[in-house]
Amino acid sequence: MSKANTRRHDLERNKLSKEKEKPSQSILSKHLKRIYPIGLQRSGSSLSSLSSLSLSLSQNSNDSLLTDSTTPLNQKISLALRLIAPSERREAPWAKTVQQQSQDTSTGELRRCNWITKNSDKVYVAFHDECWGVPVYDDNQLFELLAMSGMLMDYNWTEILKRRELFREAFGGFDPNFVAKMGEEEIADIASNKAIMLTECRVRCILDNAKCILKIVREFGSFGSYMWGYVNHKPVINRYRYPRNVPLRTPKAEAVSKDLIKHGFRLVGPVIVCSFMQAAGLTIDHLVDCYRYSECVSLAERPWRHI
């Protein structure tokens, strides 16, 4: 009888110990479910859980792998966890600005770069809206913009643009071949024209630059090919939010300036070259909330063939 009692006591003790282990297992299982929503046991129920999960997720190519019976369980678990994980992609801060409507809701007017104000002259606004930042590849147009950028030494853009047609008439549409052949009489006529307001020194700078462009054409095929080669034949797209962010000179402009001077060009300091690159669309420096920013970026990213 004593042996029977001892055996019965041992059985009851083992039963109690097993009952104590059950709560710990349930707690562990509960925490595992918080970390892994999918059962990890190799059983039919786990496969059905995976299939149910795949139906609730967005339908894509991974869904077929989840429901495919030939796909290993480990691979299904990996795919499912990847699908339910939060996306790591974050929208760039400037992208939100670009996506905003380019219209001032208070006035209904288009948003422009901050240096365009209500007091800005119409010719300056038109230049900003139609020309500034648009990629230019034509040699004559590039020569014109380079010449006008050089005039910034004496005048501002508004004063220059108001006389733009006079400059074109005086310099033969800024054809380098025409300008390079101008003689002393033509130089004197332009310098004495009070409407044009260019000193003889400035006129001679434009003539000398025309001769330099012809040398560039013989060496590189065109002035456009030479200039666009500095930016790998694709405009540099900047993302400036405030006027203070827009530089007056850049390392790229300094490199171009140095090489232009080496080829004999005049009035081509880094600041002037930077202005020229902005006007000719070699760099897109419109502020990101300006309505022209997205338009110039679209022009900059279009497929094109330089001639």
Q: Which residues are annotated as a binding site for Zn(2+)?
A: 113, 128, 286, 290
Annotated binding site: 113, 128, 286, 290
Nearest to 294 by CA among 103, 16, 18, 83: 103
Q: What is the residue whose two structure tokens read 């004063």? A: 159
Report how far residue 52's alpha carbon sits from residue 49's, in angstroms, rounded to the nearest whole number: 5
Q: How many CB atoms lie within 10 A of CB 135?
A: 18
User: 71-108 as b/e, with b when 16 or more CB fall inside 10 Å?
Assistant: eeeeebbebbeebeeeeeeeeeeeeeeeeeebeeeeee
Q: What angle do CA 69, 73, 78 make, to 5 degrees?
A: 120
SS3 at position 58: coil
Cα first-last separation, the chain: 111
SS3 at position 63: helix
